[in-house]
Structure 1
Amino acid sequence: MTDEIQQVPRTAGDAPRLRTIKSFVMRAGRMTEGQQRGLEQGWPRFGLELEDGPRDFDRVFGRSAPRTFEIGFGMGHSTLEMAAAAPEQDFIGVEVHKPGVGALLAGALARNLTNLRVYSCDALDVLRQCVADASLERVLLFFPDPWHKSRHHKRRIVQPAFAELVRQKLGVGGVLHMATDWRPYAEHMLEVMNAAPGYRNLSADGGYVPRPEERPVTKFERRGERLGHGVWDLKFQRVD
């Protein structure tokens, strides 16, 4: 989901065609009955469409409240915990993989949440096309694909263009919160964000922050801790 573009070969007389390098791949996944039921029953209540364009989220949620935008919520466990723990806040989650969307919707129905909405598409497209500037209090990016191989680093979502897009959508004082369990990617995130204009690193020493209490610990993270893996959290605040 980076903003880097490549020119696609063309035939004589055609205009150049550009394609965006995606930070994710579409994986085929089997839907469980519960996930399918979550999609069928939950989408009409919680689902939002990219094609509808700019949204008045005060109208969508029926109120004006602090708003969190989560990029790539996976199976939705953390999103559900955060939304349930903070009913005074509104959450917009975006995920491309349907089993995860179905799982989140099933959970939202089971908990009878009213402060959650979902997109199932490229999160950067949602930010560009649907979210007003300076309208978000937080943007969350937890455990994105680190694209370990050097030739794939261009696919990492955290790039200068990403930092600028998120800055535009955050209100002044709003925070971009990222977490990764891959040290080289954490170092890449830190390098990109420390160089990004309009941000302040909320770490006292200019590095990483302790795990914030508001970020739920996932089963994946607990397994990593048992295996001795680290997790690095970064928080950057928009200052102008």
Structure 2
Amino acid sequence: MTEQPGKTFDPSTFRDKPVSFVRRSGRMTDSQVRAWEESREAFLIEIEHGPAATSVAAGVTGDPAEIFGRDAELIVEVGSGQGHQIIAAATAHPEKNFLAVEVFRAGLARTVIRAADAGLTNLRLAEVNAPELLEHYLPEGSVSEIWVFFPDPWKKAKHHKRRLISADFARIAHRALQPGGVLRLGTDWQNYADHMRVVMDEAPGFERDFEGEWAERFEGRVLTAFENKGIAKGRDIRDLAYRRI
């Protein structure tokens, strides 16, 4: 990488682990820009970023009780997209707190619009890399469930090392989850489903929260565009659930 004039190249600013996203630029509509500017303060957690894009600055932490203004069960969705899943869940369960983690700002803006229209007070958004949020920002044992539905499968074999679900992510999820907490996974790519199951079956401190080959479809998951796309192409939808022991 070429150094920029006046700047010193620092290798530590570039990540050596898979991240929870593919960085994409998305053009927002005028209504999304307005919603982002007018309503984001009610939902977006302002987390100081480190030197890498969407990283969490060293030493920055957050207290869920202070963020939400109450003590309640906390559910974190990694890669919330346009917010369909987490908006539905937050609406159905006002007694729980929900945190959507996403870096695609157009998706966050759409989530803000829907959350404002629904009058939700139990939803917050974080524009950061999810593993860093789970490992460094949130207190240990503060999350009751982590949802990772339809993450990028990185279909080419040479890109499999970029997949989010890995032994290191299992370690991070174990730290964030409270005892008895659940990591829920879903994908429409069989190869990735097999990979997830192998990783999590071998992960220390977890046990299967299902019987048989695959978990039953999580009843709390709404039918999103990603899932519909997979179904339309004839793919099997695979669910997995692992409980922290």
Fold-level similarity (TM above 0.5): yes
Q: Provide the aligned C-alpha RMSD in A.
A: 2.0
How many pairs are equivalent? 228
Deviation of 1:15 after TM superposition, in Å, equals 8.8
Identity of aligned residues (%): 38
**Does the 8 Å contact 1:176/1:236 carry over to 2?**
yes
Work out whether residues 18 and 161 of structure 2, in 8 Å CA contact, stay in contact via their aligned partners in 1: no
Q: Is the 8 A contact 1:38 1:104 kept in 2?
A: no
Provide runs of 4+ in structure 1 moved above 4 Å: 14-18
Aligned residue for 2:15, secondary structure, equals: strand
TM-score by length of 1: 0.89
Q: Residues of 1 paired with 2:117 and 2:30: CA distance?
A: 15
Structure 2: which amino acid aligns with 1:219? A
Partner of 2:24: 27
Per-residue deviation, residues 148-200 of structure 1 (Å, max 9, x unmatched) = 11111110000101001100110000000010010000000000000001001
- In structure 2, runs of 5+ residues without a counterpart are 2-8, 49-56
What displacement does 1:21 show?
3.7
Pick from 218, 224, 230 the counterpart of residue 212 of structure 1: 218
Aligned equivalents of 1:200, 1:233: Cα separation in 2: 15
Q: Which residue of 2 aligns with 1:106?
A: 113
Q: CA deviation at 1:71?
A: 0.6
Report the CA distance shift for 1:203/1:28 in structure 2 as closer, same or farther (over 3 A): same
Which structure 1 segments of 5+ residues have no match?
Answer: 1-7, 9-13
- Which residue of structure 2 lines up, in the alignment, with residue 46 of structure 1? 43
Can you list the C-alpha shifts for 1:129-166, whole angstroms capped at 9, x where unaligned? 21000111000001000001111111000010100110
Asked whether the equivalents of residues 34 and 102 of structure 1 are also in contact (C-alpha less than 8 Å), the reply is: no
CA distance in 2, matches of 1:43, 1:22: 28
Single out whichever of 97-106 and 221-230 deviates more from structure 2: 221-230
Residue number among 65, 78, 90 corresponding to 1:83 in the alignment: 90
Contact 1:34 1:103 in 2 (8 A): no
1:152 equivalent among 151, 159, 178: 159
Shift of 1:32: 1.4
CA contact (8 A) 2:184 2:239 kept: yes
Normalised by the length of structure 2, the TM-score is: 0.87
**Separation (CA, whole Å) in 2 of partners of 1:75 and 1:177:** 19
Contact 1:50 1:126 in 2 (8 A): no
Say if 1:15 and 1:108 are closer, same or farther in 2 by CA, change over 3 A: closer
Q: Report deviation, 1:37.
A: 2.0
Contact 1:136–1:171 (CA<8 Å) still a contact in 2? Answer: yes
